[in-house]
Amino acid sequence: MKKCAFIYNPESGKTNNKKDIKKISDLLEKNGYEMIACPTEYKGHAIKIVEELVDVDLVISCGGDGTLNEVVTGNLNRENKLLLGHLPTGTTNDIGAMYGYTKNIITNLQLLLNGAVKNVDVCLINNRPFIYVGCIGNYVDIAYNTPRHLKRNFGRFGYIINAINELKRNIKKYEITYEIDGKIFSGEYSFIFISNTSGIGGFKNIYDDVKLDDEMFEVAMISVFNKPQLAMTMTAVLTSDINNVKGVTYYRTNNFSVTFKEVPSESWCIDGEEMKHNDKTFNFSINKEINMLVPKKNIVKLFKNVEEVDNLK
């Protein structure tokens, strides 16, 4: 029988009792896997778990975007890479929505096990990986500073509750120089988003035709500096072609670096978690070493190389 390491965050979503874990174990067994249960105990624990796994055929992360980030990070630290899968049980679950998962974890597990193996792009910021989004600017810290009890009790609305206080702050202005595809530009911006997803923060279809295996990521830089203008800009981003939104500079690339005039006091937010730093320059690139088992539902939409879909069995 094959072995599956099931790495889950007991504080995220539905994987917090023995009944749920038993159902997951039974379904894995029916599909030919002996489950190795690996609950995380602290931030960064999933990285260590993956680094130390031996004789495992599949690793499934179960939790929010941060749990998946740690599993991918641990896998990239390995010499022999493992096959990964992900079951979303976090609060916003943009990754889960993108892949076409339901709200039922058992249904989602079966979708995953009936899925296909695909090579996926992993974005790097100064060689630190992120799967979903890396961003900097006012208010992006809401993703990692919202108290857990608000997220647990109110779900996505918990972020909104926390955001009400955060929005009292004035919008920060960054003076930057950036290089993209060999060309150098400069300007003042309030937000920078680098992503490999069609939706961010629960908002879907921000970008058209995002592919997860095309060795490209999306860059959106916003140059608005007051709250009414920011609200209008974000509404326009959600309702029209981002290429035509005033105040937004947009690129699709695989080679981007940005240098701030001063070390930004704000942390980067990567996959919903805080990335502290002491740097002025940040380089972004793509890593192609990760293979993931994904549901077949949205493969045609999400992957460029559809003809290379491989069945797990």
Q: Which pLDDT tens digit goes with each residue over 160-213?
A: 444 555 566 678 899 999 999 889 999 999 999 999 987 776 666 677 788 999
**Average of per-residue pLDDT values in the chain:** 86
Residues 155, 68: one domain?
Answer: no
78 belongs to a structural domain: yes
What range does the domain containing 76 cover? 2-114
What pLDDT was estimated at residue 220? 94
302 part of a folded domain:
no
Domain membership flag for residue 312? no
CATH number, residue 170: 2.60.200.40
Does position 156 have pLDDT exceeding 60, yes or no?
no
Residues 108 and 134 in one domain: no
Residue 153 sits in the same domain as residue 107: no
Report CA dihedral (132, 134, 138, 140) to the nearest 10 degrees. 30
The total domain count for the chain is 2
Residue in 141, 159, 21, 162 with CA at minimum distance from that of residue 91: 159
Q: Are residues 168 and 262 in the same domain?
A: yes
CATH number of the domain where residue 102 is located: 3.40.50.10330
Residues 159 and 76 in one domain: no
Q: Considering the chain, what percentage of its residues have pLDDT values greater than 90? A: 59
For the chain, counts of helices (H) and of strands (E)? 10, 17
Could you tell me if residue 92 is inside a domain?
yes
What is the reported pLDDT for 237? 86
As a whole number, mean pLDDT of residues 111-117 equals 96
Q: Give the integer Cα–Cα distance in Å for 105 and 121.
A: 25
292 located within any domain? no
Nearest C-alpha neighbor of 137 from the set 8, 39, 234: 234
- Is residue 105 located within the same domain as residue 137? no
Residue 204 lies in a domain: yes
Look at residue 222 and tell me if it is in a domain.
Answer: yes
- 35 and 159 housed in the same domain: no
Examine the fold and report which residue of 73, 89, 114 is the final residue of a domain before the chain moves on.
114
Residues 103 and 152 in one domain: no
> Is there a single domain that holds both residue 81 and residue 189?
no
Q: Indicate whether 92 and 186 sit together in one domain.
A: no
Same domain, 101 and 134: no
- Residue 310 in domain: no
Q: Residues 123, 131: contact at Cβ < 8 Å?
A: yes
Query: Is there a single domain that holds both residue 184 and residue 41?
Result: no
